[in-house]
Amino acid sequence: MRHIGPTDSWQRFLWSLREGCMATVETKGADSLRKALNLLDIVKDRPGGAEMRDLVAASGLSRPTAYRMVAALTEEGFLKLDDSTRRITFGPKLLALAQGIWSDTDLRGGSRNELTRLAQETGATALLMVRSGGWASCIDLVEGQRGGHGWQVGMVRSVTQCAGGLAILAYGDWSDLDRRQKDLDVDDPRQLKSTLGVVRSRFYAVDTLANESGNMGVAAPIFDISGRAVGAVCLYGDAQASLHALGSAVVQAARDISEARGGYPFDISLPTLAISNDLDGVDLIADSQCLIGDNPCFDDERLFWIDILGPSLYRLDRAGEEPVCLNQTEVAGALLRLGPGRMLLAQQTRLALLDGSGNETWQRRVSGLPPGFRYNDGALDPVGRIWLGAMDMAVSRSTGLLHRYDDLDASPISLPGFSLPNGISFSPDYERMFVVDSMEKLLCVFDYDADIGAATLRERITLLEDCDGRPSGLAPGPDGTFFTCHWDGGAVLQIDSIGRTISSYSVPVPRPSGLVYDGENDRLIVTSARVRLSETDTARFPKAGGTFAVPLSK
């Protein structure tokens, strides 16, 4: 239960009601209205709510009259009774009225300073957008030095065709997307839900197409006190510029505006762990600035990895060279080496086979994934079966599952029972299968029958107990051990088959995300993430999103 205290908006609301009453000829019921407003005023002045006897005493009403009025106000949602304290507090109807009072004008006033700061610091043009039905409109704009953005105050675009509209829509109710397909100018509701899932994962949206001026934008949602997305902060600049580089700036601005309006429903700050940004013997292989780097793997002398939300595939031909970035058209959820010169890239709606250069040689549509889900990590069993984790991009509990492909042309077999499966590996004898569930901080251990590909849950082991951060990824190491990343802990852990930590290796970024053991060189190749880091944290950890080589012996 949250008490809504007195605000200037509330005072203006009561004043306007009273002035309206006093400015008109006295009519039947006006006196009752004044008495009801007085009861609301008394509740306002009682932090934590008012007891019924307080209302009777302070209002001067008879007990029966006070009870009738409170009952009527409660029935209409203006008041409510807190069952635990037996106190009367403001009801949800007042919150709805307050949201009406917090008009676009108030939103503009509360956002202007942030828009000005963004335009000055980035050189891009900063916009404030709101949604009305199937349209997103620009209600304020601060020009950046670059200009040429193609927007002006009052301009509207389809809510599904601009970053601001997508940012607001992603945090709304998806249940009516199918029904409102025509209103929202949507050809494929399933694809829209997948796009909105990406927005939720990043905390920001990017334009899917350049606008009429050849410019593209990035936007983050603004929330009101109830956690409802009521607007979006947007930055528009050159389509050739890196929109993702502006992501943390718009997220931080949207967070600041939201908190000034009552709250922000997500925490983008790092845990209070001592994480060093000093390389200290760790080699930076590629400063790739990935949103979520993952699934590093070797093919011959080449190193590959993905940026899940980039989305992109990276190829490093030789140490010391710049990696080649192969942009992808949709989320890249998992990358697996199937054999020499043959890899599998599991995307949001497709499975694709790649050659030793990363070029696509075959593809098929994914089946069996609900809208808004994507693949996340995977592994091969000894006879070549493919296991892939699948997660809800809205990251909801107990919705995750594994898919087993006995053949890439066949439909997958599902294994439910996870929240966020994020790392699959096998024991050296393939009699055990291990799955990391990042959300639940678990190592799930299965008995595995390689003859038929059957996995039977044996036990769940807690990882990182009593510690901030989460496990991410799982890679086999020497002597039957495994490695997992400590997301938000700035480290890689070596664990045994029952989850006990054997060793810990520091990395100079807070969010190591994926890894592979390079036994020939006795080192780990570790990818990392910069998604949802604040401006302060990206400045503190400038190599976040890079790929590193971590020696296991010094």
Q: Domain spans of the chain?
A: 8-99, 104-260, 283-551
Cite the annotated binding site for a divalent metal cation by residue number: 422
Angstrom distance (rounded) from CA 453 to CA 467: 34
Cite the annotated binding site by residue number: 374, 376, 422
Supply the pLDDT for residue 250.
92
Angstrom distance (rounded) from CA 111 to CA 128: 8
pLDDT in tens, the chain (554 residues): 333 343 444 454 444 444 444 444 445 578 888 888 999 989 888 877 889 988 999 999 999 999 999 999 998 888 988 776 788 988 877 766 655 544 455 788 889 999 999 999 988 999 999 998 888 999 999 998 876 567 888 888 888 889 999 999 998 877 667 666 666 666 777 778 888 888 988 889 998 665 555 678 999 999 988 788 999 999 987 655 567 778 888 998 999 998 887 766 676 667 766 788 888 899 999 999 999 999 999 998 899 999 999 899 999 998 888 999 999 988 999 999 999 999 999 998 899 999 999 999 999 999 888 877 899 999 999 999 999 999 988 778 899 999 999 999 999 999 999 999 999 999 999 999 999 999 999 999 999 999 999 999 999 999 999 888 999 999 999 999 999 999 999 999 999 999 999 999 999 999 999 999 999 999 999 999 998 888 888 889 999 999 999 999 86
Which CATH number describes the domain made up of 283-551?
A: 2.120.10.30
Supply the pLDDT for residue 500.
96
CB 507 within 8 Å of CB 487: no
The b-or-e profile of 30-54 (16+ CB within 10 A means b, else e) is eeeeeebbbbbebbbebeebbeeeb
Q: 104-260 has which fold?
A: Beta-Lactamase (3.30.450)
Angstrom distance (rounded) from CA 399 to CA 322: 39
Which CATH number describes the domain made up of 8-99?
A: 1.10.10.10
Q: ω before 371 within 30° of 0 (cis)?
A: no
Element (H, E) at 199: helix 189-202
Angstrom distance (rounded) from CA 196 to CA 79: 36
Cite the annotated binding site for substrate by residue number: 374, 376
